Chains A and B, each alone.
Chain A
Amino acid sequence: MNFTLKIWRQKNQKDAGRFEMYEVQNISPDASFLEMLDVLNNQLVLQDRDPVAFDHDCREGICGSCGLMINGRAHGPGRKQATCDVRMRIFDDGQELVIEPWRAKPFPVIKDLVVDRTAMDRIMQAGGFISARTGGAPDANSTPVTKENAEESMDAAACIGCGACIAACPNSSAMLFVAAKVSQFALLPQGQIERKERVQKMVIQMDKEGFGNCSNNYACEAECPKGILVTHIARLNREFLRAKLV
């Protein structure tokens, strides 16, 4: 398959950045999107040109490193896929692909398609942890958890922190990300000690980082590679209200 690529190139944070056009040929339909970019970068290196910088690590959809805006959609047009999960066969042969970095005020571009996502780390540092001693693996069964809560909590814990929810949100809101983290702990007995403190601190940090206000568009849920549901946002709101009022 052949593709015309329109890729955002930006030397560093201070550079204004611009789109550049590239052509790639003979791409296998079974290649992943990142492998297609690898082919492009091989070409660029052979031509002694600067390869396109993009984040990637595990390339199996669990690390949350990769994340590109492909033709106006976070992680491409599919559902429940990280950029590395996207296969080239879903596109048409000869199609033009517009590739942009995540765009949000708290996500400054470092180079080309790589953005600084440490704002999410700072939200985690504000409260995304537990202080309860959980012991070793055999101790896991000593604290009973209902099946419903365990399932719901694990669904939330599936969040890989890629930032697609923020990139896809018209308001650059980080509510789905924070909701997943808050839900994950609020549903388990080990998370109860810091329950009230956690939600308040994480929301304060989220606001401080400059993320937008949720307007319940639910674009985040549609683009989340792990299928985190917006019902977790409702729980985040509930936890916040409970912490403030009760």
Chain B
Amino acid sequence: MNSILAFYYSSIGKKVLMSLTGLFLIVFLVEHLIGNLLLFANDSGKMYEAYGDFLVSNPVIRFIEIFLFLGVIVHAILGVILWIKNRKTRPVKYKYFRLKDNSPLASRTTIWTGIVIGIFLYIHLKSFFIPSRFTSQKVSSYELVMHAFSNPWYDLFYLIALLVLGYHLRHGFQSAFQTLGLRNKTYAPFLDMLAFIFWFLIPVGFAAIPVYFFFYHQAVSTMIMGVH
């Protein structure tokens, strides 16, 4: 137990926890996106709703869900702790410090992109997770999605949040492997390729959903107007 505590108190130990929770959340994103792609099935949401019912009723999923929330909380709290600790390491600041000449912006803004993702997560859970999981009467998750994404401001907020998520992962994905000691000369080019999927393709995949439903909704309403 003592050595576990010592590991946590070491700078590398905290970072390892940070990267493991980060990678766990990234794996969840993959699952989440694959599930969400059912929205495009063109069956008025039958498959998507079946998938949603499965998630809510399956005990294994419910069990993993606990770890998912724990993962988010640990990742966020540790991120803030590390940020505060790091801020204290230079009491007298440089008058002139040109970090932008030698390090990417994404690597220095994870705390801010992380906070935006946190706000997004709160709104996201409030509009989708809580109604389908905790309300007694049956709500159609497909209608929930349709309704939410008919609002252009809500869509815009989603797109910005996903852009920020991509930027967060731009640094986070490779950083996690560096911290776990897996980024060496042999793996680095492969990891950078893999990183592209995570910081680019996955956010784009998620972004397709509000865009699709916004135009779908527009199309449906013009059709109804046309009938009248």
Contact = CB atoms under 8 A, between A and B. Distances in A.
B179 A170 contact: no
Interface range on chain A: under 10, 10 to 19, 20 to 34, or 35 or more? 35 or more
Contacts of A73: 98, 101-102
B29 to A, nearest CB: 20
A238 B179 CA distance: 8
Given A72-B101, A214-B11, A234-B178, 18 more contacts: A8-B95, A71-B98, A100-B96, A168-B102, A171-B86, A203-B12, A204-B10, A206-B11, A207-B10, A213-B86, A217-B107, A218-B102, A218-B103, A230-B178, A231-B183, A231-B188, A237-B178, A244-B7
Given A168-B102, A216-B107, A237-B16, A105 B11 contact: no
Contacts of B12: 203, 236-237, 240-241
A104 B94 contact: no
Contact of A203 (B11, B175, B183): B11
Interface in B61-88: 82, 85-86, 88
Interface of B: 3, 7, 9-16, 82, 85-86, 88-99, 101-104, 107-108, 110, 171, 174-175, 177-185, 188
A104 B184 contact: no
B178 A233 contact: yes
A216 B179 contact: yes
Given A170-B108, A244-B3, A217 B93 contact: no
26 contacts: A17-B92, A69-B94, A72-B97, A103-B90, A170-B108, A171-B86, A172-B86, A204-B10, A212-B11, A212-B89, A213-B85, A215-B107, A216-B179, A217-B103, A231-B184, A231-B188, A233-B178, A234-B177, A234-B181, A234-B183, A235-B184, A236-B181, A240-B12, A240-B181, A241-B16, A241-B180
